[in-house]
Structure 1
């Protein structure tokens, strides 16, 4: 193994399991011989119970589990197995089938992992006070330059590709983020495609407003910067929270990319849930002053929960004053980011 891995977190099943509500029968007076049971007229058949609404029961169970999770957090600060804020996640981003989307896929596999190990060592040396959690961040549903048969301008990785990147992550003791660019589709339509993978405790989610264009008919990805509203983020949170509850998992991490104000609207309406740790991730490139200003304007001044910061090997490393910011420079930001991504 190239990396020293933080052990997978055990989950206290009792803290997150859904308990069926048991109701005790009410005390009743036994009727005299020949008299009808209380509440039932003579000759009438007992009323049939109303049919159970499975969706309603599921919602009630989720509500109970949400309240239980809130109670645990109030007592202990966080749910068992939570990655943040006790660790700093360092991720390599891209797509293992593409050389142009990021460092994850740009170089041969073993060469890329050797580079990753050096980066992890730099972060461990820069801040020994917080353990490093290695991660791969693979763009799994990708915005496309053509509409496709259904006109949604997006394409999902094959099952073989997803399984391969999962294998890469586990071989090197990394957690994995599956990133979603919905194009002209929606999170409600796309996220269920990833549920089978998100049931694993080491697989998390990223969503990218830049390529969310459902509110911009006819616009091709990369022509304009897309947007998510708080209600879209809340859908992703609820989706992940349900998976956590139903599968008795530790909290999921959700990264939300952002480098303009309009990429996320109504941020104050984003609802926190202890089963999901939200990272608002500064995704812009440029020279350090510009990146710091973007972090201040769109992340620090519009806080949600945790923060992230992206570094670009190609776009940041240009002639002075451009340079790839060092770990110490990034750590010095306020608040200090707990999710760092290299593209």
Structure 2
């Protein structure tokens, strides 16, 4: 169970404001509500690549979080025995290139990847104007790269989360293939009331590929506008039971 965000951007998640150590302690507290007899693993999901509305000097419509920030988050994650997930909103950059750029962190046993393909744009597309998309084959290529690192450095299983807000965001999902040493997690995104979120959940997990685990995303502010936030008990009652829950 985790929080996401990037320092200085409150709109992008819980980790965007306040003292990082205090936020990490809050993650642990909330995680215990999801334990259900298991030992919870706190997660800090840091936006390592952030999609932008402007092209930037290289025309990729993305910016990279400074190494010093990633280093600080990793240090706090280690202090709290938590997992650091590096979230990628690629803009027009190639997702695998963004993953490779994070190699110095990915060789650590407590660092994984989260992809946000609604922010993966094609030629002529601008982040925020429409949903982007990825494919099962592209996710497999990223998983294969992570699998190679796991084998080369004798690492424990490494998570690869992909957030999905609509069916169109992951195309040809049936072509997604599990890779040795990589835990694939499909995190169902989407804002709304508990009823709306359950409907999105049912649509997006109806044909969950073999070997893919399920995850669920909640929004502290947006989900509560005109409604209320789902409780841990309600989230754990979803079928299949989510194995990763993330709050933004």
TM class by smaller structure? over 0.9
Which of 69, 89, 104 lines up with 2:15 in the alignment? 104
For 1:190 and 1:111, how far apart are their aligned partners in 2? 29
Q: What secondary structure is seen at the aligned counterpart in 1 of 2:221?
A: coil
Deviations 1:97-123 (A, max 9, x none): 422210012233344234323312322
Aligned match of 1:327: 232
Deviations 1:231-272 (A, max 9, x none): 110111111000001101111110001011110011111111
Aligned match of 2:219: 312
Q: What secondary structure is seen at the aligned counterpart in 1 of 2:12?
A: coil
> Within the alignment, does 1:131 sit opposite 2:31 as a pair?
no
8 Å contact kept, 1:281–1:299:
no
Larger mean Cα displacement after TM superposition, 96-105 or 227-236:
96-105
Q: Which stretches in structure 2 are left out of the alignment for 5+ residues? A: none
Aligned residue pairs, count: 247
Compute the displacement of 1:158 (Å).
0.8
Question: RMSD value over aligned CA atoms?
Answer: 1.4
> Within the alignment, does 1:274 sit opposite 2:180 as a pair?
yes
Q: What secondary structure is seen at the aligned counterpart in 2 of 1:169?
A: helix
Q: Which stretches in structure 1 are left out of the alignment for 5+ residues? A: 1-89
Q: What secondary structure is seen at the aligned counterpart in 2 of 1:234?
A: helix
- What are the within-5 Å matches in structure 2 for residues 1-343 of structure 1? 90-124=1-35, 127-128=36-37, 130-214=38-122, 217-304=123-210, 305-319=212-226, 322-343=227-248
Aligned match of 1:16: none
Q: What secondary structure is seen at the aligned counterpart in 2 of 1:140?
A: strand
Q: What secondary structure is seen at the aligned counterpart in 1 of 2:41?
A: strand
For 1:230 and 1:240, how far apart are their aligned partners in 2? 15
For 2:76 and 2:219, how far apart are their aligned partners in 1? 22
Compute the displacement of 1:316 (Å).
1.1
User: Normalized against structure 2, the TM-score is what?
Assistant: 0.95
Q: What secondary structure is seen at the aligned counterpart in 1 of 2:29?
A: helix
**Higher strand proportion (structure 1 or 2):** 2
4+ long deviations beyond 4 Å: none
For 2:233 and 2:113, how far apart are their aligned partners in 1? 27
8 Å contact kept, 2:32–2:40:
no
Aligned match of 1:54: none
Q: What secondary structure is seen at the aligned counterpart in 1 of 2:235?
A: helix
Compute the displacement of 1:323 (Å).
1.3
Compute the displacement of 1:175 (Å).
0.7
For 2:219 and 2:139, how far apart are their aligned partners in 1? 25
User: Normalized against structure 1, the TM-score is what?
Assistant: 0.69
8 Å contact kept, 1:96–1:165:
no
Look at both structures and tell me which one has the larger radius of gyration over its CA atoms: 1
For 1:155 and 1:339, how far apart are their aligned partners in 2? 26
